[in-house]
């Protein structure tokens, strides 16, 4: 019986390297890797050895005959991918570990960030070069997007953090948390104590709509709501109000983050109580008045941005109905996707009709947008072809005006044209955006750090900056799942090692040991690895008392208090 990869796939290709018959694709270097929804096992070539399941860091691989419930469709999804993407499973060129040139000495590297891209970068450096690595984060807690971005009900996805946790015990690793580059230490400080610096700072900002009323209370970026339910220390407990005015929540966007938000807002709090969701968010969700979440998309269903696994998880959300708003062109798009000759489910074909095919069989209903949600249970409404133009309200958001995709709407309602969706909470989920790092170039258009193969470059000359590198979303923009950072980190580390082999990395002016003294002088509240392990133990112990994986400390004072009893 063959194995199949399921919805929690992280795309980091750990399974690819252990498969004896190379039947898991796309592999690193193949088209689609890093952008595909997930990886796929060819059932015709699988020899049922189970090596992939043992290697999977997120427990996403199971024998086909054990798939049930929400995972049941994945046997067919794996098979269909190879129907649409034939491959002969030929082996690529072997990849050998890198090494430093004789006489180079001990390589020292600073990695700014502690999220997945930083974790993969540190792993590669520690495992293949014997380097000494210093990890730095502006927050007094490690984990980055893995801790503060992954939805709390995706606990299996968070298991990839266990591989990074082993890295934190490496004797050649040092960590400084609560240290802001550009404020507490500078880029020049980092290069003065290390051969190279890798920036893995992610994309902490959010994109704005630029609409009237966007700054009204009740209008939030997705970064705030996601940070709120994930106990981000920079997001206060009262940042999100789910009171009576929020019976209908409109989420502008239909990517994976928007789907996460809809799912969390309508999940059974008793189910969430078994996760690491922030305590303040869990309490608010227990008292929540939210009964309907609208996922608003500018274009038609064939252009939906969610991944197939995320959508299937939404479709199986217990206690919540999933419906499609009956808007012009929607029925036709769904019918076209269901017709003979359509590509059907998405696989990784990238066809425009594939996402619309996921809606086949869902109820398509007319919605009275000016009224409150209908009485009864909870529901998620998918509305396509609606362009937001204005947030309405006085003291807070009371509605969202939208027009059709061409700027016209047949259901005019009030001044300004278009139609109005009655809502008290609007969340814009239109993408994350990188923020500038003091001392480094920044591309305002893409929201990324300019680079060439991971080497940070001066945009004025196109030449690389000395000993300065970038990885992750700060490098390629906010795209790709957690596992995509592994291949991205490999490219950047290869560039760094190429420069080391060519003797292009300058010798640090000061020994790496002096950097810790500098940090203590500049930021006395900084936490080290021992303190972070103490915080981790505290959170896990709190979780054991209540049957949860951990209970997060949600504020900076709580985190510091937990760590203070341990000296550096």
Superfamily of domain 209-430: FAD/NAD(P)-binding domain (3.50.50.60)
Least confident of 148-162, 345-359, 524-538: 345-359
Question: What pLDDT digit, counting tens, does each position of 470-521 carry?
Answer: 999 999 999 888 888 999 999 999 999 999 999 999 999 999 999 999 999 9
Query: Is residue 254 marked as binding?
Result: yes
Work out the percent of the chain whose per-residue pLDDT is above 90: 79
Task: Please tell me the predicted confidence (pLDDT) of residue 240.
Answer: 97
- Positive or negative CA dihedral for 541, 545, 547, 548? negative
Average pLDDT over residues 536-550: 95
pLDDT at 95 over 80: no
Contacts of 248 (CB under 8 A, 6+ apart): 290, 291, 292, 293, 294, 372, 373, 421, 422, 423, 424, 425
Query: Is residue 298 marked as binding?
Result: yes
Q: Is the Cβ–Cβ distance between 251 and 294 less than 8 Å?
A: yes
CB atoms near residue 338 (< 10 Å): 15
Distances (CA, A) of 380 to 220, 311, 319: 19, 12, 11
Residue spans of the domains in the chain: they are 3-84, 108-204+434-526, 209-430
Query: Is residue 299 marked as binding?
Result: yes
Task: Please tell me the predicted confidence (pLDDT) of residue 195.
Answer: 97
> In this structure, which CATH number among 3.30.420.40, 3.30.70.20, 3.10.450.200, 3.40.50.720 belongs to the domain 3-84?
3.30.70.20
pLDDT at 232 over 90: yes
CB atoms near residue 416 (< 10 Å): 13
Task: Please tell me the predicted confidence (pLDDT) of residue 352.
Answer: 40
Task: Please tell me the predicted confidence (pLDDT) of residue 345.
Answer: 44
Question: What pLDDT digit, counting tens, does each position of 315-364 carry?
Answer: 889 999 999 999 999 999 999 988 765 544 443 333 345 789 999 999 99
Task: Please tell me the predicted confidence (pLDDT) of residue 444.
Answer: 94
Evaluate whether the domain defined by 108-204+434-526 bears CATH number 3.40.50.300. Answer: no
Which of these, 240, 194, 189, lies nearest to 217 by C-alpha position? 240
Question: What pLDDT digit, counting tens, does each position of 291-319 carry?
Answer: 999 999 999 999 999 999 999 989 889 99
Asked whether the whole model's pTM tops 0.95, one would answer no
Average pLDDT over residues 458-474: 96
Work out the percent of the chain whose per-residue pLDDT is above 70: 95
- Positive or negative CA dihedral for 110, 116, 121, 123? positive
Average pLDDT, the chain: 91
More confident residue, 316 or 193: 193
Longest dimension (CA), the chain: 76
Which of these, 544, 268, 568, 244, lies nearest to 423 by C-alpha position? 244
Distances (CA, A) of 165 to 12, 130, 135, 173, 366: 16, 18, 13, 12, 50
Task: Please tell me the predicted confidence (pLDDT) of residue 42.
Answer: 97
How confident is residue 568, by pLDDT bands cut at 50, 70 and 90?
A: very low
Buried/exposed 56-92: b ≥16 CB within 10 Å, e otherwise: bbbebbbebeebeeebebbbbbbbbbbebbebeeeee
Average pLDDT over residues 379-401: 96
Query: Is residue 310 marked as binding?
Result: yes
More confident residue, 411 or 198: 198
Query: Is residue 34 marked as binding?
Result: no
Return d(Cα 383, Cα 328) in angstroms, integer: 10
pLDDT at 398 over 90: yes
Query: Is residue 480 marked as binding?
Result: yes
CB atoms near residue 264 (< 10 Å): 23
More confident residue, 157 or 191: 191
Task: Please tell me the predicted confidence (pLDDT) of residue 24.
Answer: 97
Contacts of 557 (CB under 8 A, 6+ apart): none
Query: Is residue 181 marked as binding?
Result: yes
How confident is residue 417, by pLDDT bands cut at 50, 70 and 90?
A: low
Query: Is residue 11 marked as binding?
Result: no
Task: Please tell me the predicted confidence (pLDDT) of residue 459.
Answer: 94
Question: What pLDDT digit, counting tens, does each position of 103-120 carry?
Answer: 788 999 999 999 999 999
Average pLDDT over residues 446-469: 96
CA atoms within 13 A on the CB side of 114: 29
How confident is residue 32, by pLDDT bands cut at 50, 70 and 90?
A: confident
Query: Is residue 562 marked as binding?
Result: no
Question: Which helix (H) or strand (E) covers residue 205, if one does?
Answer: strand 205-206
């Amino acid at each position: 019986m063959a194995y199949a990869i399921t919805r929690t796939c992280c795309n980091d290709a750990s399974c690819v390297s252990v498969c004896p018959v190379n039947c898991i694709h796309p592999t690193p270097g193949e088209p689609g890797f890093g952008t595909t929804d997930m990886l796929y096992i060819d059932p015709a070539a699988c020899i049922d050895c189970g090596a992939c399941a043992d290697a999977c860091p997120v427990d996403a691989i199971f024998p086909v005959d054990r798939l049930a419930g929400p995972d049941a469709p994945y046997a067919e999804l794996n098979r269909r991918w190879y129907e649409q993407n034939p491959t002969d499973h030929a082996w690529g060129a072997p990849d050998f570990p890198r090494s430093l040139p004789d006489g180079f000495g001990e390589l020292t590297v600073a990695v700014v960030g502690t999220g997945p891209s930083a974790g993969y970068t540190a792993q590669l450096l520690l495992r293949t070069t014997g380097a000494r690595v210093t990890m730095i984060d502006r927050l007094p807690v490690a984990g980055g997007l893995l801790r503060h971005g992954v939805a709390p009900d995706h606990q299996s996805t968070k298991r990839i953090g266990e591989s990074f946790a082993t890295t934190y015990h490496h004797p050649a690793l040092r960590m400084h948390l609560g240290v802001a580059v550009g404020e507490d230490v500078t880029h020049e400080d980092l290069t003065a104590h290390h051969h190279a610096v890798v920036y893995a700072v992610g994309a902490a900002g959010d994109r704005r709509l630029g609409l009237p009323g966007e700054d009204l209370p009740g209008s939030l970026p997705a970064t705030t709501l996601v940070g709120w339910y994930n106990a981000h220390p920079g997001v206060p407990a009262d940042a999100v109000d789910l009171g009576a005015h929020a019976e209908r929540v409109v989420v502008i966007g239909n990517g994976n983050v928007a789907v996460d938000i809809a799912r969390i807002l309508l999940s059974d709090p008793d189910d969430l109580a078994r996760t690491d969701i922030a305590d303040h968010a869990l309490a608010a969700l227990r008292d929540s008045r939210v009964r309907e979440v609208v996922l608003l998309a500018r274009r038609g269903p064939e252009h939906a941005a969610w991944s197939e696994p995320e959508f299937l998880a939404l479709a199986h959300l217990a206690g919540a109905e999933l419906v499609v708003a009956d808007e012009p062109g929607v029925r036709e798009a769904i019918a076209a996707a269901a017709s003979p000759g359509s590509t059907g489910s998405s696989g990784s074909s990238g066809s425009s009709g594939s996402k619309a095919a996921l809606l086949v069989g869902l109820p398509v209903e007319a919605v009275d947008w000016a009224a409150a949600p209908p009485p009864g249970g909870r529901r998620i409404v998918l509305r396509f072809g609606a362009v937001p133009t204005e947030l309405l309200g006085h003291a807070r958001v009371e509605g969202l005006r939208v027009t059709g995709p061409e700027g016209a709407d047949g259901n005019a309602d009030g001044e300004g044209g278009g139609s109005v969706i009655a809502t008290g909470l609007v969340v814009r989920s239109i993408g994350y955006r990188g923020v500038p790092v003091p001392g480094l170039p920044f591309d305002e258009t893409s929201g990324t750090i300019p680079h060439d193969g991971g080497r940070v470059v001066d945009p004025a000359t196109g030449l690389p900056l000395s000993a300065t590198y970038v990885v992750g979303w700060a490098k390629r923009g906010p795209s790709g799942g957690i596992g995509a950072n592994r291949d991205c980190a490999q490219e950047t580390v290869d560039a760094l090692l190429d420069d080391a082999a060519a003797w292009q990395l300058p010798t640090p002016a000061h020994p790496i040991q002096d950097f810790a003294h500098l940090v203590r002088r500049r930021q006395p509240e900084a936490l080290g690895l021992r303190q972070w392990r103490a915080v981790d133990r505290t959170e896990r112990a709190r979780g054991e008392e209540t049957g949860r994986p951990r209970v997060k400390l949600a504020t900076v004072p709580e985190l510091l208090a937990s760590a203070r009893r341990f000296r550096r």
